[in-house]
Structure 1
């Protein structure tokens, strides 16, 4: 689905809230459509989503991770609300984004003690191949 810039996050939170039995969530973000957004416009906090609990979620994958503040908040929310989460895979464009993302996510609270955060740099693959 393709959303207008101001609709995608509201839809995502509504979908997550309405899908407590979801086991896998795969998102494909189109970063070029998000460049003109104000980070504070869609800021999501834990208090806004206190009713969300993703007990069955095992895997989260985001292709072309935008590395914006609201993208990070969605991942942090999912980490904090998914007690059975095993894998979080995020794909970024460059090594700098990869390091920033790991620094931001590693200290984040997690409901699952066994979650593995994997950040793949797709830019490095394109440059070498």
Structure 2
């Protein structure tokens, strides 16, 4: 069986606030935690950030406009997903969608930006 949380990532970490399931709230303390989720999330965010906002070979006003339009578009879609989630999804699935929703602006931005760049370059090749 594959261990979903490797033991070598277990560590005591400093937390500002934690609410224990069957206990009191704790402020400014150390807690045992597996860092797999944190490492994976940081790598997704940094990787997405590098892919999304790296300079293009030709970085002109048109690329800047496409970037801005795609960023606005991705934020609009992200909040539409969030509104639909609030209205129609309950329970732990709501939490899972909220976690996924942290990454959707970058993902949607990258997909739309790359598609528009491809579409624009393909138009000029033909």
Instruction: Report the TM-score, using the length of structure 1 for normalisation.
Output: 0.24
Normalising by structure 2, we get a TM-score of 0.25
Kindly name which structure, 1 or 2, has the bigger radius of gyration based on alpha carbons.
Answer: 2
Which structure has greater helix proportion? 2
